[in-house]
Structure 1
Amino acid sequence: MIEAAKIWNEPNNKSHWDPNLDPEWDLFANMTRLAGQAIAAENGGLTRVLGGMSPIDPHFLKRLEARGVMDHVDVVAVHGFPLDWNLWQIDEWPAKVDEIAAVTDKPVWITEVGVSSFGSEEVQAWGVTKTAELLVGKVPTIHWYSLYDLPKTWEATTRHKEAEGSSYYRHFHMGLLREDGSPKPSLEAYAPHAADMGLCQWFHFEDHRLDEAVAWMKRLGVRKLRTGLSWADSFRPDADRWFDRQMEALADFDVTVTFCFTPEHRGIEPHHTSPPQVAEEFAEFCASMVRRYAPATAGRAAFAAE
């Protein structure tokens, strides 16, 4: 059910990891080593992916390598949004991949790439086509972010929220589908590339879009999907029931599942970006999710027999 397990999301982005609490990423490195070991102990054949860098930074990767992280992951992931948040042009994508490939012998995946329709839906559609032209065949795995726009009543996962100005509101317009489920021009642009350029779609706890998303992805011919299972959500009532429902619905796709988000009561500070008080607890969460949804033994995931 899971083809890869991704350890955290954008660890060099303050919206996902607090550098004030871990300025040298020593705590992150220790947590990642432990999680990588725990995943391998449950299923040695499962690909372990380092949380996607954003910004793309070979110096950050070398920092983690010096702390032993690379011995416990199989793939390096990067994220890029050159038309929205990055300080480089879209044509630089191949060079950005080469920068990372030059400092590691691990495969490089692009687990988030996207273009917001905040300014123009036509520009987003052009961005889909241009991204496919630049990256399909350049890396083995690409996930376009995302299928759906973020509902305006929800919050985007950023550190400073509305204080970021237009940068914040771009988060709400990354989908190929509008919030109401109607297609944008970018959906038509994406369709010819669906088999080669997968999707990244985060599903919130008890997300009402799940079944419709699955129907759209099957209609488009999507094969690869990246999503997440939240450590913080695991403490909600009936968390396993929701996780089971989500993973069962996604069973027909090659899923890269991201394990991330610190529960407030288990962080050094009460925030999802905080390093955990006890890194082994995150590692055990990763192990428990692999046991449940990607067991080493053949056959259906363990939850299906419960």
Structure 2
Amino acid sequence: MIEAVKFWNEPNNKSHWDPEVDPGWIRFAEMVKLASSAVSAEAPGLTRVLGGISPIDAGFIQNLAGQGVLDQVDAVAVHGFPLDWNNWQIDAWPERIAEIEAVTKLPVWVTEVGVSTFGAEEVQEWGLKRTAELLSGRVPRVHWYSLYDLPKAWPATTRHREAEGSSYYRHFYMGLLREDGTPKLAARHFAEYTPEFGICQWFHYEDHRLEDAVRWLKKLGVRKLRTGLSWADSFRPDADAWFDRQMAALDDFDVTVTFCFTPEHRGIQPHHTSAPLVPGEFAEFCARMVRRYVGSTATPVEAVRPLAALA
């Protein structure tokens, strides 16, 4: 069910990890090392990946390497959006990958790459084709972000939200499908790049799109799926029931699951980007999820029941 786990999402992005709470990423390094050890104890063969960095920064990787983090993972990951947010052009993708390869011998995965339709759907259509030309066969994993547009009623995970101007609103137009589930121009081409290309799709707590997403992923020929299990969500009522439903629905895919988001009441600051008060608590969450969904000791998932019965 799970082929790999990732520790956090974009840890060098202020919208996902607060460097003022954790200067130098000292607490982050400790947290990841504890989590990696806990996961290895539960499932020794499971691939462990450092959370995808954004921006792509070789210095950040060197910092974590110096703290021993890279000794505890099997791959590193990068995220890039050169047609929307980065200050480099799309043709620089090979250079960006090479910058990270120069400072680590670990495989480099691209676990988020995408193009918004904020300006025009034709931009995404062209961007998908060009991205495939640049990254196919270049890295072990490519996950396109994303399947669905973000519903306009939901907030995007950024620090300053609407104050970011058009940069913020681009978050809502990253899908191959519109919010209502209808396909955009690029969707008709995506199957040309699967199964080599996977998709990254985040599912919110009790996400109403889950079953339709599974149908679309299969229609597009997707085998590799990246999603997340939120540490913060684990404190919601019936969280395990939702996690079970999500993971059962995704059972036919090779899933890379990202563990992230600090529960407000367990952070040094009451925010999902805060370093936790007790780093070992994140490790305990990771271990529990791996124990639940990986290996012979896993808690049985309710996969024997039809999805309709789980709704």
TM-score by length of 2: 0.96
CA contact (8 A) 2:109 2:140 kept: yes
Runs of 4+ aligned structure 1 residues displaced above 3 Å come to none
Q: Residue 193 of structure 1 aligns to a residue in which SS?
A: coil
Matched, 1:123 2:94: no
Once residues 220 and 150 of structure 2 are traced to their aligned partners in structure 1, the CA distance between those partners, rounded to angstroms, is 20
Matched with 2:270 is 270
1:174 maps to amino acid: M
Q: Where in structure 2 are the equivalents of 1:33-182 lying within 5 Å?
A: 33-182=33-182
CA contact (8 A) 2:293 2:301 kept: no
1:204 maps to amino acid: H
In the TM superposition, what is the alpha-carbon distance from 1:194 to its structure 2 partner? 2.1
Matched with 1:303 is 300
CA contact (8 A) 1:38 1:287 kept: yes
Matched with 1:240 is 240
Once residues 163 and 23 of structure 1 are traced to their aligned partners in structure 2, the CA distance between those partners, rounded to angstroms, is 25
**Could you report, residue by residue, the CA deviation over 1:36-61 in whole angstroms, capped at 9, with x for unpaired residues?**
11110100100000000100011000
User: Any stretches of 5+ residues in structure 2 without a counterpart?
Assistant: 304-311
CA contact (8 A) 1:29 1:67 kept: yes
In the TM superposition, what is the alpha-carbon distance from 1:303 to its structure 2 partner? 2.6
Say what the alpha-carbon RMSD is for the aligned residues: 1.1
CA contact (8 A) 2:82 2:90 kept: yes
2:300 maps to amino acid: F
Q: Residue 112 of structure 1 aligns to a residue in which SS?
A: strand
CA contact (8 A) 1:117 1:174 kept: yes
CA contact (8 A) 1:126 1:189 kept: no
In the TM superposition, what is the alpha-carbon distance from 1:71 to its structure 2 partner? 1.2
Identity %: 70
Once residues 38 and 106 of structure 2 are traced to their aligned partners in structure 1, the CA distance between those partners, rounded to angstroms, is 20
**Could you report, residue by residue, the CA deviation over 1:193-248 in whole angstroms, capped at 9, with x for unpaired residues?**
12111000000000000000000011111000000000000000000000000000
Once residues 17 and 106 of structure 2 are traced to their aligned partners in structure 1, the CA distance between those partners, rounded to angstroms, is 23
**Could you report, residue by residue, the CA deviation over 1:12-36 in whole angstroms, capped at 9, with x for unpaired residues?**
0000000111121001000010011
User: Any stretches of 5+ residues in structure 1 without a counterpart?
Assistant: none
In the TM superposition, what is the alpha-carbon distance from 1:142 to its structure 2 partner? 0.5
CA contact (8 A) 2:22 2:275 kept: yes
CA contact (8 A) 2:244 2:302 kept: no
TM-score by length of 1: 0.97
CA contact (8 A) 1:30 1:279 kept: yes
CA contact (8 A) 1:149 1:174 kept: yes
